[in-house]
Amino acid sequence: MGSATELTTGNFDASTKDGVTLIDFWAEWCGPCKMIGPLIEELATEYEGKATIAKVNIDNEGELAAKFNVSSIPTLLVIKDGEETKRFVGVTAKANLAEALDAATA
Q: Quickly list DSSP for the chain.
A: ---PEEP-TTTHHHHHSSSEEEEEEE-TT-HHHHHHHHHHHHHHHHTTTT-EEEEEETTT-HHHHHHTT--SSSEEEEEETTEEEEEEESS--HHHHHHHHHHHH-
Is 30 catalytic? The answer is: yes
Is 33 catalytic? The answer is: yes
Residue among 2, 19, 27, 30 flagged as catalytic: 30
Residue among 4, 22, 23, 33 flagged as catalytic: 33
Report, as residue numbers or ranges, the catalytic residues. 30, 33
